Amino acid sequence: MLHGREFATNIIVDIGDNEAMHIFGGYLSQFDSTAPVTTATSEIVAPGKLTEKGPDMPEKVGWHCMVKLNASTAMYSGGYSYKNTGLYNSTYFYNIQEETFVKGPDMIAGTSPF
């Protein structure tokens, strides 16, 4: 991986004839700091290949939920940002082929698994 991270989410994507794990957001590992750093970065990890940087997410978020809806679309929702706004109520659709995000409807309240 390019960055050590925790409380990220991932989906499995097809890259040619292979599958890869696309990891989104989370907290960057900070061994010299007590305050976690939320990230909007993503990276693609595939067997036998170097890890690649993926597209940045619209928000820095960890503890979020992501689900692959079909071969071309995933959705992430909720989560938490330590330094920004706390709990998120936003949703985004992710186009897997184009690597783009589109804002979805806001949830009634922010959510996180903790």
Question: How does pLDDT run across 24-44, given as a tens digit for each residue?
Answer: 999 887 655 556 688 899 999
The answer to the question of residue 60 being in a domain is yes
The answer to the question of residue 110 being in a domain is no
Task: Work out the end-to-end distance of the chain between its first and last CA atoms, rounded to an integer number of angstroms.
Answer: 25
Q: How far apart are CA 30 and CA 38, in angstroms?
A: 10
The answer to the question of residue 111 being in a domain is no
Structural domains counted in the chain: 1
Residue span of the structural domain in which 79 resides? 5-103
The answer to the question of residue 114 being in a domain is no
pLDDT digits (tens, 9 = 90+) for 37-80: 888 999 999 998 899 999 999 988 888 999 999 999 999 998 88
β-pairing verdict for 80-81 and 86-87: antiparallel
The answer to the question of residue 27 being in a domain is yes
The answer to the question of residue 78 being in a domain is yes
Q: What secondary structure letter does DSSP report for 56?
A: P
What does the pLDDT read at residue 114?
54
The answer to the question of residue 109 being in a domain is no
The answer to the question of residue 21 being in a domain is yes
**pTM of the predicted structure, to 2 decimals:** 0.87
Please tell me which residue, 71 or 85, carries the higher pLDDT value.
71
Which of 81, 96, 97, 98 lies closest to 27 in space, CA to CA?
81
CA distances, 30 to each of 17, 33, 37, 38 (Å): 36, 5, 7, 10
